[in-house]
Amino acid sequence: MTDLSNTPKPARSGGRSARRAARSSKLAVHLRPIRPGMAGGTLSPLTQAGMARIHEAVLQALEEIGLADAPESGIAYMTGAGAVLGEDGRLRFPRALVEDTIAKANRAITLHGRDPAHDMQLSGTNVHYGTAGAAVHLVDVHGREYRDSTVQDLHDAARIADQLDNIHFVQRPMVARDITDNREMDLNTVYACVAGTKKHVGTSFTDPSYVADALEMLHMVAGSEEAWRARPFVSNSNCFVVPPMKFATESCQVMEACIKGGMPILLLSAGMAGATAPSTVAGAIVQGLAECLAGLVYVNAVSPGHPAVVGTWPFGLDLRTGAMTVGSGEQALLSAGCAQMHRFYDLPGGAAGGACDSKLPDMQAGWEQMCSNVMAGLSGLNMVYEAAGMHASLLGFCHESLILGDDIIGQAQRCVRGIEVDDETVAVEQIREVCIGGPGHYLGTEQTLGRMQSDHVYPTLGDRTSPKEWAEKGKPDLIERATARKQEILSERAAARFDPVTDAAIRKRFTIHLPA
**Cα dihedral sign for 431, 433, 435, 439?**
negative
User: 137-140 and 396-397: which strand pairing?
Assistant: parallel
Q: How far apart are CA 325 and CA 314, in angstroms?
A: 11
Q: If you average pLDDT over residues 349-371, what whole number do you get?
A: 98
Nearest by Cα to 498 from 100, 280, 219: 219
pLDDT of residue 148: 98
pLDDT of residue 25: 62
pLDDT of residue 23: 52
What are the b/e assignments for 266-293, b being 16+ CB within 10 Å? bbbbbbbbbebbbeebebbbbbbbbbbb
Nearest by Cα to 304 from 63, 59, 80: 80
Mean pLDDT is lowest, of 93-102, 369-378, 452-461, for 452-461
CB 75, CB 298: distance < 8 Å: no
For residue 56, the SS3 value is helix
Q: How far apart are CA 317 and CA 306, in angstroms?
A: 33
Most distant pair of Cα atoms in the chain: their distance: 85
The domain segmentation of the chain, as residue ranges, is 107-277+304-417
Q: What's the pLDDT band for 20 if we cut at 50, 70, 90?
A: low
Q: What's the pLDDT band for 21 if we cut at 50, 70, 90?
A: low
Residue 137 phi, psi dihedral angles, 5° rounding: -130, 150
Q: What is the CATH number of domain 107-277+304-417?
A: 3.20.20.480
Nearest by Cα to 330 from 345, 311, 303, 352: 352
CB 121, CB 108: distance < 8 Å: yes
- Neighbour-count burial of 165, counting CB atoms closer than 10 A to its CB (0-12 exposed, 13-18 middle, 19+ buried): middle
Q: How far apart are CA 167 and CA 114, in angstroms?
A: 15
Q: How far apart are CA 226 and CA 220, in angstroms?
A: 11
Q: What's the pLDDT band for 24 if we cut at 50, 70, 90?
A: low
pLDDT of residue 30: 75
